[in-house]
């Protein structure tokens, strides 16, 4: 699905043509903001703690899937964004938002499509990076070693820190979730988020 989005967005962008410097502002802003967007999603959506409101239990599907992912970090099926969730991940923030914003502010469709191309490539990079971190592939570059180390610390040391997945801790450093790993206790709930059963 993501590859289809990448190919479709690139094809649409090429078909529309009219490349200009204005095509760069939205992708550059996205590249700067993405580490923080990723952090917010990881902290507040994926690590959502179920809540009871009266007789109603508020527990999202993505949070349940993420708890399962923490319980079994080597299960490849749990590494990727779930297939039933992915269409929403693509449709809302990747397609609807840029096109809607472009229409609202009068930006050309070409600018919105450039934004979608970059979003799609970032999503592909996120999935690929997350997959590699959870395989036996050993890091070679300094950058990837840092990404690999941080995400492994999140899964196996303490789930309350190191929320970055595709950067070497940019958002964690700014937002205070990048402590010295030696000073952090190993959590008993890293594989059982919130002390709940994974299902």
> Global pTM?
0.87
Domain boundaries, the chain: 2-49+59-195
pLDDT tens, residue by residue, 102-157: 777 777 888 888 888 998 999 999 999 999 999 999 889 999 999 999 999 999 99
Residue partners of 55: CB distance under 8 A and separation at least 6: none
Q: How far apart are the C-alpha atoms of 158 and 189, rounded to whole Å?
A: 8
Which tokens go with 150? 């941080």
* CB 59, CB 148: distance < 8 Å: no
Q: How far apart are the C-alpha atoms of 88 and 196, rounded to whole Å?
A: 26
Kindly tell me if the per-residue pLDDT of 99 is higher than 90: no
Mean local confidence (pLDDT), 57-72 = 94
Which tokens go with 153? 């610390």
Kindly tell me if the per-residue pLDDT of 198 is higher than 70: no
* CB 187, CB 157: distance < 8 Å: yes
């Amino acid at each position: 699905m993501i590859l289809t989005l990448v190919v479709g967005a690139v094809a649409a962008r090429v078909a529309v043509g009219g490349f200009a410097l204005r095509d760069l502002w939205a992708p550059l802003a996205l590249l700067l903001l993405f580490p923080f967007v990723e952090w917010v999603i990881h902290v507040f959506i994926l690590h959502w703690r179920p809540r009871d409101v009266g007789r109603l239990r508020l527990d999202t599907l993505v949070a349940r899937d993420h708890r399962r992912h923490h319980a079994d970090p080597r299960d490849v099926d749990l590494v990727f964004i779930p297939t039933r969730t992915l269409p929403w991940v693509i449709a809302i923030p990747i397609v609807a938002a840029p096109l809607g914003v472009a229409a609202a502010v009068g930006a050309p469709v070409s600018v919105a499509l450039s934004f979608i191309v970059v979003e799609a490539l970032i999503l592909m990079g996120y999935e690929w990076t997350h997959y590699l971190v959870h395989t036996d592939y050993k890091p070679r570059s300094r950058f990837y070693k840092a990404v690999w180390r941080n995400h492994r610390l999140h899964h196996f040391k303490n789930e309350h820190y190191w929320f970055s997945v595709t950067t070497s801790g940019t958002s964690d450093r700014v937002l205070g979730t990048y402590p010295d790993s030696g000073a952090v206790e190993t959590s008993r709930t890293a594989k059982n988020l919130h002390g709940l059963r994974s299902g």
